[in-house]
A = this chain, B = another copy of it.
Amino acid sequence: MPFITDIKTFAALGSGVIGSGWVARALAHGLDVIAWDPAPGAETALRKRITNAWPALQKQGLAPGASQDRLRFVSTIEECVRGADFIQESAPERLDLKLDLHAKISAAAKPDAIIGSSTSGLLPSEFYESATHPERCVVGHPFNPVYLLPLVEIVGGRNTSAEAIEAAKVIYTSLGMRPLHVRKEVPGFIADRLLEALWREALHLVNDGVASTGEIDDAIRFGAGLRWSFMGTFLTYTLAGGDAGMRHFMAQFGPALKLPWTYLPAPELTEKLIDDVVEGTAEQLGERSIAALERYRDDTLLAVLDAVKSSKASHGMAFGD
């Protein structure tokens, strides 16, 4: 393979919630990490986020030599990427910004280092337009919290080589992730299109006063959400068809798709709707701090991941099955 896949040094550009998550994951896997973010106070915020994530990563098990001390924060893009075996960009979602950033990143990077972008909203054919060696440039779209959730969507642009996709799969797998190659370069990729559809409907339910944010969250987490932690909608519905299976299910429930149950366009984000969402979630949060809720989320995610892994193992399956 013409690209570096046995990575020792991980470059992270951008250290917001997503970028910090990548740094935490890479550190926990025993890598040296070099981070860059031009925002004021970025280094302090990054180190604080990693400290909050670390207990969960310790519980999950750190790689030999893993340490928060192996993070170096630098002040230029070139310093960040020059020695890196792999580069992950998690900058704001603006095309002009990413175009400019990737021209600089790719020019300074080793030519055989894979470059990944955390973008969820932009297309790699577009923002890698001015990259040096664009054949090694991919999207590696993660999910929050990046240091615990296994899914990463890999998407190539028009110039990305098949070898780069394979190399990215190897690299992300070595970081404990479950890569999913999105074979067509479509806006939103796969997961966010599904999440966005649900989110839009949820906002309508709030907007119409049908339910509070807490009630909507309850409708997911005590029902379908428990299934979705290990089984997707299609296989779930295969079971709902009973022994008659999926063709029966489609015949029985397919026509319901035509019912005017769900709203189509997104609701206007009025001040009232934003207030309702903010007040609803504030009530759900209660007395807890964001950091405390993150620790609860991390602990529970770990427990759920362990539960799924153990159950799969006892049924002769690997976690990635």
A-B contact pairs, 7 of them (CB 8 A): A143-B227, A190-B215, A191-B220, A227-B301, A238-B284, A264-B265, A296-B315
Question: A216-B233, A222-B149, A294-B239 in contact; A257/B266 too (CB < 8 A)?
Answer: yes
Whether B178 lies near A218 (C-beta < 8 A) is yes
State in angstroms the CA–CA spacing of A265 and B264 once bound together.
7
CB distance from A307 to the nearest CB of B (A): 4
A121 on the interface (CB 8 Å rule)?
A: yes
Whether B190 lies near A205 (C-beta < 8 A) is yes
Whether A219 lies near B280 (C-beta < 8 A) is no
On chain B, the residues within 8 Å of A75 by CB distance are: none
Whether B297 lies near A227 (C-beta < 8 A) is yes
Which of B190, B254, B282 interacts with A219 by CB under 8 Å? B190
Closest residue of B by beta carbon distance from A143: B223
Whether B151 lies near A238 (C-beta < 8 A) is no
Residue-wise, chain A 228-255 has the 8 Å CB interface mask toward B (1 for contact) of 1111111111111111011100100011
Which of B16, B227, B235 interacts with A281 by CB under 8 Å? B235
On chain B, the residues within 8 Å of A245 by CB distance are: 278, 281, 290
Which of B266, B277, B294, B303 interacts with A250 by CB under 8 Å? B277
Residue-wise, chain A 192-232 has the 8 Å CB interface mask toward B (1 for contact) of 11111111111101001111011111111111111111111
Task: Give me 11 other A-B pairs in contact (C-beta within 8 A), A194-B224, A199-B237, A230-B304 excluded.
Answer: A17-B240, A180-B218, A190-B205, A190-B210, A190-B211, A194-B198, A194-B205, A194-B216, A225-B228, A254-B269, A303-B308
With an 8 Å Cβ cutoff, the count of chain A residues facing the other chain is: 112
A285 on the interface (CB 8 Å rule)?
A: yes
Number of copies: 2
Could you list which residues of chain A lie within 8 angstroms of chain B, going by C-beta atoms? 16-17, 121, 143-144, 149-151, 153, 178, 180, 182-184, 186-188, 190-203, 205, 208-211, 213-243, 245-247, 250, 254-262, 264-266, 269, 274, 277-278, 280-282, 284-285, 290, 293-294, 296-297, 299-301, 303-308, 310-312, 314-315, 317
CB distance from A215 to the nearest CB of B (A): 6
Whether B300 lies near A247 (C-beta < 8 A) is no
On chain B, the residues within 8 Å of A243 by CB distance are: 290
On chain B, the residues within 8 Å of A208 by CB distance are: 184, 186
Whether A217 lies near B240 (C-beta < 8 A) is no
The interface centre, meaning the residue of A190, A199, A226, A254 with most chain B CB atoms within 10 A of its CB, is A226
State in angstroms the CA–CA spacing of A216 and B137 once bound together.
24
